Structures are given as structure tokens and as C-alpha cells.
Amino acid sequence: MVGPDAGPHTDALRVLSIDDDAEQRAIVTRLLVRDGIPDVTEAANAEAGLAAAAELQPHLILLDLVMPGRSGSDVLPELLEAAPSALVVILSNLPRRRVGPGLMQRGAVGYVEKFVPAPRLVHEILVAAALTDIARRHLLELPDEAVAPMLGRRFARALLADAELSIADDVALLVSELVSNAVIHASSKPRLEVRIGRSHVRVEVRDDSPEHALPRVPDVERPGGRGLLLIETLASRWGTDRDGDGKRVWFEIDRAAAAAAAAPGAES
């Protein structure tokens, strides 16, 4: 995986967007430019994308999968040959969990679903390509059993302890709550992803329920129900995204802000 210091700064990135949907390409280009990435070339099909990749040698290629003629999956190996230094991120409507793993094995570095809200799309693309400060990712598949929250909590705490992060306990607490929600309320086998970056830690918990996650007042006589309220209190940012037939609930904790809050003499 490309580390956070590899390649040019984002404002110097050459980006190639390959998608047969002209409106989608225009939206992506506009968002990239808005976020300080002005050098964007568009291609409407796989063959045009191959030619552009060979000529421009982009740093980042955004590749749709379903296109007339040759699909993104078909053309992926040739794109990597045409532009060997390029990072290919799949940008597709197809569920990441169904087709993503196979494409990663074939050379794509990341997968972003088009359902991601526009304000966060560029961030998700850069995270997928490891072009932000996200440096390490760790995945854990959990059972749909009562033991899952404990397993997720131990997993997160061990990772952050290894990284010598003082926010390990806060992250472990929030992981436990989100995994509990996935098991109890979504009847799912959760997938836990922890991403440790230089400036923040990001956690995602995927479940099989499409129901949007909303904070609610917990029932004192029932377990759970406090997870999102805790996230609103402890996390720097959080949200819910569609993921195929289910969803991902995610949160980020800013490492500098958390360290400042925990410093002696900090206001409580």
C-alpha cells in the first residue's frame, strides 16, 4: 500500500476519471477541483481511458466498473501496464463487499461506492488511495453473537496500544457500542475496520441493515442504545453510509484534539 508521504501533494495530482456517465464524471471533476485537485482528465469509456493513461501517466485513476464495451474490471490490468505508477481506485455503484476484494487482488488500491455523500466523496477517494494521512488499516470479521463487542473492543484497544495512542480506551468503547448495535439491532455479522493515521483514527462498522443510524434516547431497562450518543460526545466526526444492501457507521477521532483534552490542566 502506498504510504501517506508517497507521491505528490494532492494539489499536484494528475487524476484520470474513467466513467461512461457524463454527469457522474462532471460531478467528480467539480468536487476534485473544489477540494484543490485541479488537474483532472475525463474519459468516457475503457479504450479512451487506456489512451489517456498511457499519454498522461496520471497519479490517480478513478475507474467505473459497468461501462459499454469493455468493463472497468476487464481493462484494469491494462491500465496498470499503461500507467505503472498510477493508483487505481474503483468508483462504482456495485457493492464493495461483493466485488471489491477481487479487484484489490488484481491491482486496485481502493474501492469507493458512488453512494458516498458528495461533501465527503473526495476525502473517501483519497483515503482509499492512501493519499491522505491514513497509513494503516486493520480488518476484523465478527460473529453475530454476544461475544462480538468484546472481541471488537479487544481488537481496537490492542491496535491502538501498539501505536501508543492515549485514545485507545475511547475508541474501544465506541467500537463496542457500534458492534453491539450491529449484532442486536441489525442482526448482522459486523465487519470492523480500524484505520490509524497521523492526525486521526477512523473506525467503520458494517452491518446488513439499510436502516440509517440515528441517535436515540436509551431505554434504561434495555441494553445498548447509547452508542451514537457516545459518538456524538467523543468523536470529531461521524456518519452513516450505504454499503450495498447494508450500511457502514463510521467515526473519526482527532488525535491532537484528544491529546490536548487529556493533557494535565485541560478543561473537563
Question: Tell me, what CATH number does 146's domain have?
Answer: 3.30.565.10
Residues 195 and 101 in one domain: no
Residues 143 and 255 in one domain: yes
CB atoms under 10 Å from CB of 162, counted, come to: 11
**Assigned domain for 2 exists:** no
Separation CA 190–CA 182 (nearest Å): 6
Phi, psi of 143 (to 5 degrees): -80, 160
- 65 CB contacts (<8 Å, ≥6 apart)? 71, 72, 73, 90, 92, 94, 99
Q: Is the dihedral of CA 17, 23, 27, 29 positive or negative?
A: positive
The tens place of each residue's pLDDT in the chain, 268 residues long, gives 333 333 455 667 899 999 999 999 999 999 999 989 999 999 999 999 999 999 999 999 999 999 999 999 999 999 999 999 899 999 999 887 778 778 877 888 888 989 888 888 998 888 777 665 544 568 888 999 999 999 999 999 888 876 667 788 889 999 999 999 899 988 999 999 988 876 788 899 999 998 876 655 555 444 445 667 888 888 989 988 888 889 999 999 988 777 777 666 655 4
Question: Tell me, what CATH number does 37's domain have?
Answer: 3.40.50.2300
Residues 223 and 187 in one domain: yes
Residues 168 and 59 in one domain: no
**Assigned domain for 5 exists:** no
Total count of domains within the chain:
2
- 36 CB contacts (<8 Å, ≥6 apart)? 10, 11
3-state secondary structure of 259: helix
**Assigned domain for 1 exists:** no
Residues 167 and 62 in one domain: no
Residues 157 and 76 in one domain: no
In 3-state terms the chain splits into helix, strand, coil percentages (rounded to 5) of: 40, 25, 35
**Assigned domain for 255 exists:** yes
Residues 194 and 238 in one domain: yes
Separation CA 100–CA 92 (nearest Å): 10
**Assigned domain for 4 exists:** no
**Assigned domain for 158 exists:** yes
Residues 77 and 139 in one domain: no
Residues 252 and 145 in one domain: yes
Among 110, 128, 146, which residue terminates a domain?
A: 128
Residues 123 and 162 in one domain: no
**Assigned domain for 162 exists:** yes
Residues 151 and 255 in one domain: yes
**Assigned domain for 179 exists:** yes
Residues 89 and 120 in one domain: yes
Q: Identify the domain containing residue 193 by its residue range.
A: 134-262
Among 112, 128, 144, which residue terminates a domain?
A: 128
Among 80, 98, 128, which residue terminates a domain?
A: 128
Q: Which helix (H) or strand (E) holds 182?
A: helix 168-184
